[in-house]
Amino acid sequence: MRFADLLAPASLPAYFKGFAVLRKAGTVGDVEVDVARKDGTTFPALLQSVARVDDRGRFVESRTTVYD
């Protein structure tokens, strides 16, 4: 499962825009999204991410903190 699978559909554009910034700049902050709960309700969250890269500078993964 990807983190995007946990988001409300309306939050996907902001998430993918932030992810593009992360891959290019190596960090992104203050990405506002709504996270969906199992019961279908949502709650607002703020994402802060840092990219991890290999020795050639290629994106490998990200470390993300989610603030509710």
pLDDT in tens, 19-63: 999 999 999 999 999 999 999 999 999 999 999 999 999 999 999
- Residue 15: closest CA among 52, 45, 60: 45
Please give the Cα distance from 14 to 54 (Å, whole number).
26
Structure tokens at 35: 């996270």
Structure tokens at 15: 């998430």
Please give the Cα distance from 16 to 13 (Å, whole number).
5
Answer yes or no: is pLDDT of 1 > 90.
no
